[in-house]
Structure 1
């Protein structure tokens, strides 16, 4: 099951629907452009708190996925601990694949 969401994540990235970087993700959340935020399970405590608090305040769903290496590999970038999905279709499907068990 894990592999299918990683393939979809790679596809979303190639389609230009992923945003990276803490500050840019926060801007995305504040402007309502983010449809889902995917966080690595090994994200740092400060970044985790900042991003989850923003998601809760702006009512953006977020999920915890694999570690930073797995997420980074899926999108072909290094050291990614958070990914904002900007497309509702991708967000809905990724949310379904990641399931209820990974909710923050």
Structure 2
């Protein structure tokens, strides 16, 4: 995934997700993320500080996507509390089964 679109932060998070899916945490490094994103090896440190910063951004992205999936399910669930709770649970399970750690 070459970096051409101007959103370096997103490109690096996406590159990290790809690395984690393919190689697990053992295959992740700032240099590897930069290589996959097609940017200089210094770019991740400039935006995230260190590996922990990039992994934290990746985790935050995952939580945001989970919250979006849960909200979408609840919107269509009506007003019954039990149905809404089941919708939340189903969204959580679907998200967990359909994604690797920190994935898109």
For Structure 1 versus Structure 2, the TM-score category normalised by the shorter chain is: under 0.3
- In proportion to residue count, which structure has more strand? 1
If the length of structure 1 is used for normalisation, what is the TM-score?
Answer: 0.25
- In proportion to residue count, which structure has more helix? 2
